């Protein structure tokens, strides 16, 4: 087993790099090999365990994506769709299971990768009840709006072709493996391909990674940019926004990724092995907003909460 983690880039990695360098260190380096008592030190095992914590909002977002994926795959296979009541019941069941599992700390300690532990419960956060109430409302709205979205209405037409659903892939930029996973990609009869991003949060939640997806589609499917469309579906409100992509958009996001890669590599003592500089090099960036949901507050002496 490698002493250091494999080097790669993703949008989530860049987001964490911006959020807090100490959190970035804990997540990508301190937790490496912590899944094994034979390979990892006590500190690595502890960091790896905390890395597996999930908060209610992230769990809900993941489950909403799973419900969308399930509905799309059933349509692709049989041209039928799951009932809304079934999807809602499944989401409620999985959320309840996560809550129940989170009561068993010992089971999570012994198997953190496959036993859910919600961070709100682990840390005894006072936000738990309000978050549960918010998610109960959002789950009903998301399921209710799914079948009314423009995407669902289009993709269920006979002349549409689904190309990818939640498929992990990679592309190479600046000699770095860059991870790509689109929620949905489909082709219209006129040859236009649509990149769909499901959102379960606020309506101004747009990420530049969607331009990266367009670059990936352009390369993999040999598509001109004027035949690629980005659509963001806001499931909570039932609204959507559409974007066309220009060469300048692609250039800007690739330049941004290049800067991130350069800055991330400046935190390494050896970029061939991806060996990080000492922990002290990764400057903590404490704040009430950032620290209150940080998985690693238990081991971070600089936490603001």
Q: Which residues contact 211 (CB under 8 A, 6 or more apart)?
A: 230, 245, 249, 250, 252, 253
Q: What is the pLDDT of residues 6-63, one digit of tens each?
A: 999 999 999 999 999 999 999 999 999 999 988 899 999 999 999 999 999 999 999 9
Measured CA to CA, the distance from residue 33 to residue 31 in angstroms comes to: 6
pLDDT at 57: 94
Q: What is the pLDDT of residues 72-123, one digit of tens each?
A: 999 999 999 999 999 999 999 999 999 999 999 999 999 999 999 999 999 9
Helix (H) or strand (E) holding 153: helix 150-155
Contact status, residue 300 vs residue 22, Cβ threshold 8 Å: yes
Phi first, then psi, for residue 83 (nearest 5°) are -65, 145
User: Strand runs (DSSP E) across the chain, as ranges?
Assistant: 161-173, 176-187, 193-199, 228-234, 239-244, 268-270, 275-276
- What count of Cα atoms within 13 Å lies in the side-chain half-sphere of residue 107? 10
Measured CA to CA, the distance from residue 8 to residue 109 in angstroms comes to: 28
Q: What is the pLDDT of residues 119-164, one digit of tens each?
A: 999 999 989 999 999 999 999 999 999 999 999 999 999 899 999 9
Average pLDDT over all residues of the chain: 95
Residue where the block lists tokens 């009903």: 140
């Amino acid at each position: 087993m490698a002493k250091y983690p494999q080097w790669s880039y993703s949008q989530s990695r860049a987001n964490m790099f911006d959020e807090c360098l100490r959190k970035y260190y804990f997540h990508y380096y301190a937790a490496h090999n912590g899944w094994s008592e034979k390979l990892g030190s006590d500190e690595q095992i502890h960091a790896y365990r905390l890395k597996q914590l999930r908060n209610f909002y992230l769990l809900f977002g993941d489950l909403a994506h799973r419900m969308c994926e399930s509905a799309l795959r059933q349509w692709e296979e049989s041209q039928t769709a799951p009932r809304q009541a079934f999807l809602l019941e499944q989401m409620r069941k999985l959320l309840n299971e996560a809550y129940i599992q989170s009561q068993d700390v010992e089971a999570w300690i012994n198997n953190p990768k496959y036993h859910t532990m919600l961070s709100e419960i682990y840390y005894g956060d006072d936000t738990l009840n309000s978050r549960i109430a918010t998610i109960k409302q959002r789950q009903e709205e998301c399921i209710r709006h799914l079948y009314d979205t423009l995407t669902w209405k289009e993709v269920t037409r006979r002349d549409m072709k689904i190309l990818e659903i939640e498929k992990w892939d990679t592309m190479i930029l600046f000699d770095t493996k860059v991870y790509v996973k689109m929620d949905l990609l489909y082709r219209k009869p006129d040859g236009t391909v649509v990149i769909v991003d499901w959102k379960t949060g606020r309506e101004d939640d747009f990420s530049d990674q969607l331009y990266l997806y367009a670059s990936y589609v352009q390369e993999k499917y040999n598509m001109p940019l004027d035949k690629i469309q980005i659509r963001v579906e806001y499931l909570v409100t039932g609204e959507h926004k559409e974007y066309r992509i220009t060469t300048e958009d692609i250039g800007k996001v690739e330049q941004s990724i290049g800067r991130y890669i350069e800055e991330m590599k400046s935190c390494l003592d050896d970029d061939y092995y991806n060996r990080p500089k000492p922990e002290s090099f990764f400057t903590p960036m404490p704040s009430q907003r950032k620290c209150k949901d940080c998985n690693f507050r238990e081991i971070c002496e600089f936490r603001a909460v």
